[in-house]
Every structure is written in structure tokens, then in C-alpha cells.
Amino acid sequence: MKLPRDLSGDERAQALAVLGYSPSRQTGSHVRLITIVEGEHHVTIPRHRALRVGTFGQLLTEVATHFRITRTHLIERPFGGQS
């Protein structure tokens, strides 16, 4: 499945709220999110207009690994399969 490319860091952070992530702190142009669903997990997202595909791919891998789901399932769930 093609990764959504037109979402900003803020929009991606909001999409992760579906999985229980919420902002815990911000340093400069990066926001750190935390979830306690299925154990504590932290991710850091740059608040840039558009994230590089590799950066977003790594973020998806981290979140999918934490929730023990596939990246495809993760894309379909919070990001609604947007392309």
C-alpha cells in the first residue's frame, strides 16, 4: 500500500491519537508522543509540513511493532488509506 505523502507532522500526530498517542512534550520542531495502550511507547515526530517517506516509514514500523500489527493495517486504520 502506498504511504500517505501529503500529511504534515501535526496531522500524522493527530492520526496516531486513534491508537491512544498523545503529546507528552515538544522540543523545537519535534513533538514526542506517548501511549500506554498495550504498554508504554514513545515516538518522536518532526512537525514539518511534509515528512520524508523514509522518516514516515520508520515511524510506522515502530508503531506497528509496538501494537503487533502490520504496517498495511496501521496505514488503513488511523490514516484511512489516504494516498
Establish if 83 belongs to a structural domain.
no
Residue 59 sits in which domain range? 9-76
Confidence band, pLDDT 50/70/90 cuts, at residue 82? very low
CATH of the domain at 35: 3.30.920
- Please tell me the predicted confidence (pLDDT) of residue 83: 39
- 68 occurs within a structural domain: yes
Is 15 among the domain residues?
yes
What's the pLDDT tens digit per position in 4-28?
667 777 888 888 888 899 999 998 8
8 A C-beta contact, residue 45 and residue 55: no
How much is the pLDDT for 44? 92
pLDDT number for residue 32: 95
User: Is 25 buried (19+), middle (13-18) or exposed (0-12) by CB count in 10 A?
Assistant: exposed
* pLDDT per residue as tens digits for the range 29-81: 899 999 999 999 999 988 877 777 788 888 889 999 999 999 888 877 765 44
Give the count of domains, the chain.
Answer: 1
- In a domain? residue 71: yes
Q: How far apart are CA 74 and CA 27, in angstroms?
A: 26
- Cβ(73)–Cβ(63) below 8 Å: no
Q: Which amino acid is at 26?
A: Q
